[in-house]
Structure 1
Amino acid sequence: MQNIPTLYEWAGDIQTFETLFTTFYDKVLKDNLLGEVFKNMSSEHVKHVSHFVAEVFGGDKLYTVEDGGSHAAMIGHHIGKMLTEQKRQRWVQLLLQSADEVGLKSDPEFRSAFVGYIEWGTRLAVINSHLTENPMDYDAPMPKWGWGETGGPYILNDNLQ
């Protein structure tokens, strides 16, 4: 049986994710629709998002250990932001454009898994952005995304834990 790489290993390394999200957030800050949402993001925002997605894709636990984050903390950042479907779609569009620009792997299997996660995560972000309290327990596990798993409906199931 062959050793199937994680999405993180297939994508490259942490520099791959940092390059992707640096390019992406440069676009976001200049965007007419999203710029206002992110104009006050911390100087650590790009690093935290890079670490979060890399960890979800099977990389080192940089977000949970180095950054002191958790899945509940990431969900908490979206509470009360009142994100719209239009903003979600623009976020996805700019991320996919950035992925192409930085040369993120473009084979159908990887991109399918990547887009699947981005769709899942951004849709959860919109749902959670309309809440006033974080629905996640602090000790809820980080999602783990692979080559075809999905979660739901609206919960983490055994495929993601």
Structure 2
Amino acid sequence: MSDAPLHTLYDEVGGMATFETLVRRFYDGVQQDPVLWPMYPADDLDGAIWRLSRFLGQYFGGPATYSSMRGHPRLRMRHVEFHVNPDARDRWLAHMSAALDTMGFSPMVRSSMDAYFDRAAHAMVNTFEPTPEQ
């Protein structure tokens, strides 16, 4: 057994600064989306960026800052109040994919992230009703 620390995807991409950049680029797209943007706290965008970047950093092997500050992620429970239908899911995935496109990740990292985001986004769908008029 080696005492060498485990090398994680978090380490490979450059740590929290990389996740913050990814999330900021993701929100740049979300802010232009008439279906998704109303679901986000426009008055607390910095908080949303902090939460998502810390969650993703933790998920991909970084420090457990998200859980230490907010408890278990409970993603589905935290999103149940939002109208997440297949259209919202697909829009979310498109914005995350566009953000990932700007990051220059290796194919292996990109594949790992795409797989996680696809699973998570599909798990968040909580209705098949059309998006309500804004």
TM-score of the pair, normalised by structure 1 = 0.68
Any idea what the Cα deviations from partners look like across 1:77-136, whole Å, max 9, x if unmatched? 2113221111111111111111222x241x22111111000011111111xx34xxxxxx
- Whether the aligned pair in 2 keeps the contact of 1:92 and 1:118 (CA below 8 Å) is yes
Q: How many residues align?
A: 124
| Residue aligning to 2:80 | 79
- Whether the aligned pair in 2 keeps the contact of 1:24 and 1:95 (CA below 8 Å) is yes
Superposed displacement of residue 33, structure 1: 2.4
Task: Give the unaligned 5+ runs of structure 2.
Answer: 128-134
- Whether the aligned pair in 2 keeps the contact of 1:16 and 1:104 (CA below 8 Å) is no
Pairing 1:140-155 to 2, within 5 Å after superposition? none
Superposed displacement of residue 58, structure 1: 0.5
- Whether the aligned pair in 2 keeps the contact of 1:55 and 1:62 (CA below 8 Å) is yes
| Residue aligning to 1:114 | 113
- Which of structure 1's runs of 4+ aligned residues deviate more than 4 A? 1-4
Any idea what the Cα deviations from partners look like across 1:60-82, whole Å, max 9, x if unmatched? 111011x233122x332211322
SS at match of 1:71: coil
Superposed displacement of residue 40, structure 1: 4.3
- Name the CA distance, whole Å, in 2 between partners of 1:88 and 1:119: 9
- Name the CA distance, whole Å, in 2 between partners of 1:115 and 1:19: 17
| Residue aligning to 2:7 | 5
| Residue aligning to 2:65 | 62
- Whether the aligned pair in 2 keeps the contact of 1:29 and 1:39 (CA below 8 Å) is no
In structure 2, what residue type is equivalent to 1:18? Answer: E
TM-score of the pair, normalised by structure 2 = 0.80
| Residue aligning to 1:14 | 16
Once the two structures are overlaid, the 10-residue window that deviates more, 110-119 or 34-43, is 34-43
| Residue aligning to 2:99 | 98
Superposed displacement of residue 18, structure 1: 0.6
- Whether the aligned pair in 1 keeps the contact of 2:41 and 2:48 (CA below 8 Å) is no
Identity %: 26
- Whether the aligned pair in 2 keeps the contact of 1:11 and 1:104 (CA below 8 Å) is no
| Residue aligning to 1:33 | 35
Task: Give the unaligned 5+ runs of structure 1.
Answer: 131-161
Greater share of residues in helix: 2
SS at match of 2:84: coil
